[in-house]
Amino acid sequence: MKIEKNVSLKEYTSYKTGGSAKYFAMCYNNDDLKQALDFAHSSDLDYEIIGGGSNLLVNDDGYNGLIICTAKLNRYIINYGNNILKCGAGINLADLVYYSCSQGLAGMESMAGIPGSVGGAVKMNAGAYNQEIKDTNIKAALMDKYGNIIIKSSEEIGYGYRLSPGTTGYIVLWAEFLYSRKNSEELLNIRKEILEKRKEKQPLHKPSCGSVFKRPEGNYAGTLIEQCGLKGYRTGGAAVSIKHANFILNEDNASSADIYNIILHIQKTVYEKTGIKLEPEVRMIGFNK
């Protein structure tokens, strides 16, 4: 495991913005992860864990500590042959969805096209089109800040909407999923339809983090933002998508500050006009949230 210095985080986030990490560690296995944590503790460094970076906004000033990246952590899928898959945290969720569909394992096909890693998907209970990680997850292995490993059941993780309280303070190492059986061709067709629907409805041509705000109860963030006349609203190189108002795009060499200021403007405007406070789904590092 190698500790690098002054690593730009632009290439580790889907927004392609943000400053540099003073220290950076890419972890490929559990031992790497424990060594990175030990380095942070022995050097008295603050640290943050990032995965695939698809739901992340990093301050332009960077991070004056250690960034531990789990995007390549435990990259394996084990098929037990009894409708259960064990999947390492660094596997892309999209790859897991494709694999499960191809094996006739149902329960994730509607999550096709969700970016990011399995570790991040567990952390935020990723989901779409009435399917969520919690529907199939049965347990996960987690590492605490001291390098100790604990296995928690789905019930102990306590999934909620875009959150998993039982993983707070822990790093996801791997997760096991229990599926139902279905015809693989049928599942692959559903997956294909979902991907086409996403392409039709979502702006996938420019860097973004996907949906910026969580869905407020009884409404949709994108609908509220559109009703407030904010489609196309621009600050610097960032803009609210014309195609889907809950997407903020890096249109033209945007800074993280451009994106952050749009987030604040949307929250303020929507609250003033509707009384609804939108809660960001995107995770932010280095901002006063």
Give me the phi and psi of 221, to 5 degrees please: -60, -45
Domain final position from 43, 69, 95: 69
**Is residue 17 very low, low, confident or very high in pLDDT (cuts 50, 70, 90)?**
very high
| 208 domain residue, yes or no | no
Residue of 132, 176, 251, 281 marked catalytic: 281
Of 12, 106, 137, the C-alpha closest to 67 is 12
- One domain, residues 169 and 274: no
Q: Sheet containing 20-26: give its strands across.
A: 3-8, 20-26, 63-69, 47-50
Is 256 annotated as catalytic? no
Give me the phi and psi of 57, to 5 degrees please: -125, 120
- One domain, residues 117 and 187: yes
For residues 170 and 145, give the distance between their C-alpha atoms in angstroms, rounded to a whole number.
7
Place of tokens 């991907």: 195
For residues 249 and 205, give the distance between their C-alpha atoms in angstroms, rounded to a whole number.
9
Question: Can you read off the two tokens belonging to residue 1?
Answer: 């495991």
Helices (H) and strands (E) in the chain, counts: 7, 18
- One domain, residues 197 and 270: no
For residues 98 and 111, give the distance between their C-alpha atoms in angstroms, rounded to a whole number.
10
- One domain, residues 35 and 64: yes
| Whole-prediction pTM | 0.93
**Sign (positive or negative) of CA dihedral 169, 97, 221, 58:** positive
Count of domains forming the chain: 3
| 210 domain residue, yes or no | no
Is 283 annotated as catalytic? no
Residue 117 is classified by DSSP as B
Q: What is the CATH number of the domain that holds 258?
A: 3.90.78.10
Domain extent for 19: 3-69
| 190 domain residue, yes or no | yes
The per-residue pLDDT for 276 is 97
Measured between alpha carbons, how far is residue 286 from residues 26, 48, 55, 218, 242 in Å? Answer: 20, 10, 14, 32, 28
Q: Which stretch of DSSP H or E encloses residue 189?
A: helix 184-201
Residue of 162, 193, 198, 234 marked catalytic: 162
| 263 domain residue, yes or no | yes
The per-residue pLDDT for 204 is 84
For residues 97 and 6, give the distance between their C-alpha atoms in angstroms, rounded to a whole number.
35
Place of tokens 């997850």: 137
- One domain, residues 156 and 248: no
Residues with Cβ within 8 Å of 199's Cβ and at least 6 positions away in sequence, in order, are none
Residue of 211, 241, 255, 256 marked catalytic: 211
| 214 domain residue, yes or no | no
**Sign (positive or negative) of CA dihedral 153, 156, 157, 161:** positive
**If DSSP codes are grouped into helix, strand and coil, which group holds residue 68?**
strand
The per-residue pLDDT for 1 is 82
Is 281 annotated as catalytic? yes
Each residue's pLDDT tens digit, 112-125: 999 999 999 999 99
- One domain, residues 191 and 271: no
Domain final position from 20, 40, 69: 69
- One domain, residues 179 and 128: yes
- One domain, residues 160 and 251: no
| 171 domain residue, yes or no | yes
Each residue's pLDDT tens digit, 53-62: 999 999 999 9
Give me the phi and psi of 45, to 5 degrees please: -105, 140
- One domain, residues 123 and 193: yes
Q: What percent of the chain has pLDDT over 90?
A: 95
Each residue's pLDDT tens digit, 62-110: 999 999 999 999 999 999 999 999 999 999 999 999 999 999 999 999 9
